[in-house]
Amino acid sequence: MKPKVAFYWCASCGGCEEAVIDLAEKVLDVVAAVDIVFWPVALDFKTKDVEAMADGSIVATFLNGAIRNSEQEEMAHLMRRKTQVLIAFGSCAQLGGIPGLGNLWNRETIFNEVYRDSPALVNPDGVFPVTEHRDNGHTLRLPRFFDTVRTLDQVVDVDYYLPGCPPTPNLIEQAIGALLSGKLPPKGSVLAPDLALCEECSRRDTKPEKLSLEAFHRPSEVLIDESKCILSQGVPCLGPATRSGCGAQCVEGNMPCTGCFGPTSRVRDAGAKSLSAIASMAASNDEAEIERILAGIPDPAGMFYRYSLPASRLRRKRQEAV
């Protein structure tokens, strides 16, 4: 009997699903080796089919997306129960991802934006959606929307992490291979090389030994030379503080790394570490001049915590300050 495998998505975009489909012809080898028992984007199995399975009968579940509402939390618990090896699949599940930027706000401010302050909105009666609606004897429920986005491991025990937004097909293929052969690293490992991205970047040889920058430029302000280290050109690139494994695709596209693979194992708060690396490069010892240079980074939280705010040490902006 083939081992059972499942895929599920929480607060996500479907990009991780597309990454699996981007295995292309290798997907056929995968489906020959495993039995996919749940994958809403592609297959018609329903949640009740999963509930009917015996606990632990699914060998591996790839769970992507952050935990934004109560339904996603319940699904995380369900999949954990039914699965032997639970893999946090992609940046959102591992670190909170881009939906994690919602942690700079909360439910009230978000609802107000959408149902009260939106430009095209016509809502004279101030109608807002609710978690329980009764009409004509029927009850319709919506999940509870949390104030705070959480990572998967803040909700359930996670066995492995596949980083990236999305994880690249080569890493997915390796992870599946490791699962099927039983040659898995220690529990809790991130299934990608434990090196910084600069190691695999094709522009590595043009990166100076000491990076000392007189200015930071926003990509909209300058033309980026296609052959030189992007950071050396003064455009913040998070390669030095980001885990490798992606092939430096963004740099190949002539844009800086934005940190989606998250930190290496030696870092606890990805944003703080990349902030430290970048700030250290300001070429001045004078407070006012340093301020001028750092003004080239107008949005530290959005730059350094783009994918990792829920996983950060502070997790979210103080509620009182929202």
Partner 1 sequence: MPEPFEPKIVAFFCNWCTYLAADLAGTSRLRYAPNARVVRVMCSGRIDPQFVLDAFARGADGVLIGGCHPGDCHYQEGNYKCLRRFQLLKRLASQMGIEDDRLRLEWISASEGERVRTVMNDMVEKVRALGPLGRRKEVEEEAVVA
Partner 2 sequence: MSKHIVIDPVTRLEGHGRIEIFLDDAGQVERAVFQVPELRGFEKFAQGRPAEDMPQITSRICGVCPMAHHMAATKALDDLYKVDPPPAAKKIRELAYTTFMAEDHALHFYFLGGPDFIVGPRAPAAERNVLGVIARVGEATGRKVIAVRKRLRAVMAAIAGKAIHPVFGLPGGVAKRVTPEQQEEFKAAAEEAVEFAKFTLGAFEKIVLGNAEYVDLICSDMFTHRTYYMGMVDESNRVNFYDGQLRVAGPDGVEWAKFDTGRYLDYIGEHVEPWTHVKFCYLKAVGWNGFEEGAASGVYSVAPLARLNVAAGMATPAAEAAREQFFATLGPGPVHHTLANHWARVIEMLYAAERMRELAADADLTDPHVRNLPTATPREGVGVVEAPRGTLFHHYQTDEKGLIQKANLIVATQNNGARISMSVEKAAKGLITGGEVPEGLLNMVEMAFRAYDPCFGCATHAQGAAPISIRVWKPGERRACPHVYQVKAS
Residues near partner 1 (CB under 8 A) are 67, 73, 104, 146-148, 150, 154, 267-269, 271-273, 275-276, 278-282, 284-285, 287, 290-291, 294, 297, 299-301, 304, 312-322
Contacts by 111-120, CB closer than 8 A, 24 or more apart: 111/145
Phi (first) and psi of residue 93, to 5 degrees: -70, -35
Smallest gap, in angstroms, from Cβ of residue 30 to partner 1? 34
CA dihedral 228, 300, 154, 245 (to 10 degrees): 0
CB 316 within 8 A of CB 309: yes
Smallest gap, in angstroms, from Cβ of residue 269 to partner 2? 19
Distances (CA, A) of 132 to 2, 71, 139: 41, 14, 7
Which CB sits closer to partner 1, 132 or 320?
320
Smallest gap, in angstroms, from Cβ of residue 239 to partner 1? 18
Beta bridge partners of 72: none
Which CB sits closer to partner 1, 15 or 236?
236
Q: Which does 273 bind (CB under 5 to 8 A by kind): partner 2, partner 1, none?
A: partner 1
Which CB sits closer to partner 1, 47 or 154?
154
Tokens of 25: 């012809």
- Annotate 11-71 with DSSP letters as a single string: B--SHHHHHHHTTTTHHHHHHHHSEEEE-TTT----HHHHHTSPTT-EEEEEEESBEEEHH
Q: Which does 269 bind (CB under 5 to 8 A by kind): partner 2, partner 1, none?
A: partner 1
Which CB sits closer to partner 1, 105 or 160?
105
Angle ∠(197,63,70) on CA atoms, nearest 5: 120
Q: Which does 280 bind (CB under 5 to 8 A by kind): partner 2, partner 1, none?
A: partner 1
C-alpha to C-alpha distance for 22 and 253, rounded to whole angstroms: 19
3-class SS at 278? helix
Q: Which does 224 bind (CB under 5 to 8 A by kind): partner 1, partner 2, none?
A: partner 2
Which CB sits closer to partner 2, 14 or 56?
14
Which CB sits closer to partner 1, 87 or 297?
297
Which CB sits closer to partner 1, 15 or 271?
271
Smallest gap, in angstroms, from Cβ of residue 88 to partner 2? 16
Q: Which does 172 bind (CB under 5 to 8 A by kind): partner 2, partner 1, none?
A: none
Q: Terminus-to-terminus CA distance in the chain, angstroms?
A: 53
Smallest gap, in angstroms, from Cβ of residue 183 to partner 1? 33
Q: Which does 131 bind (CB under 5 to 8 A by kind): partner 2, partner 1, none?
A: partner 2
